[in-house]
Amino acid sequence: MEFKQLEAFVAVVDYGSFSEAARRLYLTQPTISAHIRALENELHAKLIIRTTKKISITTKGYQLYDSAVRMLHIRNNLLEDFTEEKKRIIDLGVSTIPSSYLLPELLAEFGKSYPDVYFHSIQSDSAGAIQRVADGSVDVGLVGQDTGEESCSFLPFCQDSLVIAAPVTRHYLQMKKRDVTFRDFIKDPIIMREKGSGTKKEMDVFLENIGVSPGELNVVARMNDLESIKKSIVNGVGISVLSARSVFDLEKTKQILLFPLDEGEHMRNFYIVYSKNRIQKPHVRQFIHFVREFYDTKS
C-alpha cells in the first residue's frame, strides 16, 4: 500500500469522479483506476462500484477512507513541519451578491481564527455555482437560491430583502412622499436580471404572489451583470428589483432611491450548498459551521 494509491482513492471519494480526481492530482484517469485496483487487490475488498453514470462507495471503502484521510493528514503534517508550508485550500463557487457583499467580511473574520486556510473563489450566477458544487469542481457554494438539486444540500445562512431601486428623478422623488406598491411601477421601464440569478427567481416568486404577469412589465433590458444594472439605474435607464445589500451604498450617496416591495419587505435567503455525495474535509466543515454561526450572531 502506497501513499499515492491512498491519495488517488481519497480524491475519487472527495470529488465523486475518477476524471476529476485525475485532474486534481495531475494524473491520467487510467493511472487513478490502476491505483484503486491495486488497493482493492491488496485488501481483497471492493472499494468503489463504478457505473457509466456515477460511482458508489462501499462500506469497506468508507472504512478505508477514514483511515486513509488520517494517514495522509499525518504525512502532510510531517511534510509541513519540515518544509514550513501549511496551506489548506477551500474552492468556493459563489453567486453575485454573496461574492461582492458577504464573502469579503466572511473571509476577513474566518482568517482571524484560521490563518492557514486559503480560498479559491469562482463567481457566477447561482445556477452556475450550484452546478460546480454538484460536479465536484468546488468544495462548497454560497448562493442566492435553492434549486432543489438532488445531489446537494442547501443550508440557509443569511437573509436579505428585495427592494425597488429607482433613479433620482422628480417622478420618483414625488413617489417617495406617498405610500406606493409595486403596481405603481408596472408601466415604468424596468431592467431584469437574466435567468440563473437568485434575484430573478425571487422576483418571479414575488410577481406570482401579487398576481402580476411578467408580460405586464415594461422590460427595457435584461442584464446578467449586477454592476451594469446599478449603473444603468443611476443613469436613468430604468428601475430594477435588487437585493438591498447590493444597493445600500448607492442610496447612502444619494445616487438612487429605494422603495420597499408593497406592504413589507420581501425577504430572500442565501444558502450554503455542498454535495451530499462528498465527504467534506475538516477545514471545509469548519468553514460551513463558521458561516452559519457568523450570521446567527449578527441577527
Are the beta carbons of 81 and 108 closer than 8 angstroms?
no
**Contacts by residues 225-228 (CB-CB < 8 Å, ≥ 24 positions apart):** 226/96, 226/97, 226/100, 226/193
Count the domains in the chain: 3
**The last residue of a domain, from among 59, 83, 107:** 83
Are the beta carbons of 34 and 42 closer than 8 angstroms?
no
Are the beta carbons of 89 and 140 closer than 8 angstroms?
no
**The last residue of a domain, from among 83, 117, 132:** 83
Q: Which residues contact 127 (CB under 8 A, 6 or more apart)?
A: 145, 147, 195, 196
- Answering whether pTM is above 0.75, one says no
- Residue 130 and residue 181 share a domain: no
CA 278 – CA 281 distance, rounded (Å): 9
- Residue 167 and residue 261 share a domain: yes
- Residue 137 and residue 125 share a domain: yes
Per-residue pLDDT of the chain (299 residues; tens, 9 = 90+): 788 889 899 988 888 888 888 888 777 888 888 999 999 999 998 998 887 778 888 889 888 988 888 888 787 767 666 654 556 788 899 998 898 889 999 999 999 998 888 898 888 888 899 998 988 888 899 998 898 999 999 999 988 888 999 999 999 999 999 989 899 999 999 999 877 777 788 888 888 888 888 889 999 999 888 889 999 999 999 999 998 888 988 999 999 999 988 655 577 889 999 998 777 888 899 999 999 999 875 55
> Which structural domain range is residue 124 located in?
88-158+269-298
CATH of the domain at 66: 1.10.10.10
